Amino acid sequence: MNPRQIFILSFNAIKERKVRSILTILMVMAGSSLLVAVNGFSAGFTDFFNKQFSNLAPNILFVSSVPQSEGSGGGQGPIAGTSPAPTSKITLNQAVVSRISSLPFVDDVIPSFQETLTVSSRGDSKTNPILSVNPSALTIIAPTLEYVEGSSIRESDPSAAILAEDVAFPPGEDTPFAQLGEAIRLTYSFVDEAGNTQDISKNFVVAGIMESTGNPTIDNAIVINLDAGNSLLQRAGKYDSLFVVAEDSNSVDVVVEQIKAVYKNNIGITTVKAILETIQEFTQGITSFLFGIAVISLIVGAVGIITTLFTSVVERTKEIGTLKAIGAQGSTILILFLVEAVIIGILGGTVGLLGGIGGGYMLTRAGPGAGEGPPLEPIYMPMDMIRVWITSVILSMVAGFLPAWKASRVTPIAALRS
């Protein structure tokens, strides 16, 4: 028989057993779909984190004081809304800023105050993180920062405030919370030494609105300058955190070691690189888990092919005997059944590629927080998809070899007696 006849006989055999063949194809499709989806999901996450890495300025270190109760802990980066511990081992003041600034490979040190205050505007009030920092340093902390049209950065004006876009225009709300040129009121509540609750309020004018950057430090904050923050928050020159700017991302680890050499474990240091590496490790764990499920699904599909073809051999024993009786060789019968397996693999793998593309988009949109923040899109590499397709076809052919070999060993006399 020529290749065309073998293909037609194999394809007709699949058509005659539609339900069983469709179920087997679906098993192969499920495995290949998961492999494609996981590859797209993983590549999308890698690209997403690379973009976030650049948004967060990879040469920035976050330095904070460590409370005495933490012993030799590593500390945390500046988190908006947390107050400085009253019994810190190291007080972050101008002396610390000058000492760190003098270290090799340090370009700049940006001090800041951070707190959560009550913000009032247009008769509405809510709590919101406040970042008190030199406004010109914002583009160092977030290199991609841009302002909406009409914004003016009045660095030395203690009554000027800069709002994050989500603060000025809260998502899901029809009316803005505050707009350019409008007045807002910040109220700081604290407990004094006598144990009494005190409130300090001050009015500010919205001088600028920051567009979303993907940097959580400023994307939900209201920014005021250092003098205003020091006065309003009663800090007396004691900073909550420092942004240490290394010469480049390759110098970050060196700067970390230098700061630790000076202050030991009495100061907390967090780097963007460390944060993202932790997230990437977590993501890689999820990807590996999903990849394992995909491989198992593909193996299940291969088992389905074996079962389908073994059943087909039993059902077609007389047909095999007839073919051999009219001169068909064992190798022809072997190829006939292998072609059936390959057709199933081709159909399952091809449909699986299409299903995997849709599955990748589902994976990136199904988790908690989906639709919030910067979009994460799966990325499908042509070579990855080709490899998955080839793997599906080869695995199907391998799975079909044993039933095909058994069929090729059937003798005409035994077949015709059955």
* Residue-level pLDDT, tens digit, the chain, 418 residues: 677 888 888 888 888 878 888 888 888 888 888 888 888 877 887 777 767 666 667 788 899 887 655 443 334 344 343 344 344 578 899 999 999 999 999 999 999 999 999 999 999 999 999 999 999 999 888 888 899 999 998 888 999 999 999 999 998 888 999 999 999 999 999 888 888 888 999 999 999 999 988 777 888 999 999 999 999 999 999 999 999 999 988 898 899 999 999 998 888 888 876 766 776 677 777 777 767 777 777 787 778 778 877 787 777 777 777 777 777 788 888 888 888 889 988 998 899 898 888 877 776 666 444 455 556 788 888 888 898 899 888 888 888 888 888 888 877 776 666 5
State the Cα–Cα distance between residues 292 and 277, nearest whole angstrom. Answer: 22
State the Cα–Cα distance between residues 380 and 326, nearest whole angstrom. Answer: 50
Is the overall model pTM greater than 0.75, yes or no? no
Neighbour tally for 362: CB within 10 Å? 12
Q: What is the DSSP letter of 248?
A: S
pLDDT score of 201: 94
Among the residues of 17-84, which ranges form H helices? 18-55
State the Cα–Cα distance between residues 173 and 372, nearest whole angstrom. Answer: 15
* Plot region of 373 (φ>0 → left; ψ -120 to 50 → alpha; else → beta): left
CB-based burial, 184-200: b 16+ in 10 Å, e otherwise: bebebeeeeeeeeeeee
Which residue matches tokens 């001090």? 111
Question: For residue 72, what is the enclosing H or E element?
Answer: none
Neighbour tally for 108: CB within 10 Å? 15
The answer to whether 189 and 201 have CB atoms below 8 angstroms apart is no
Tokens representing 313 are 């051999």
pLDDT score of 56: 66
Cα 262 off chain centre by:
35
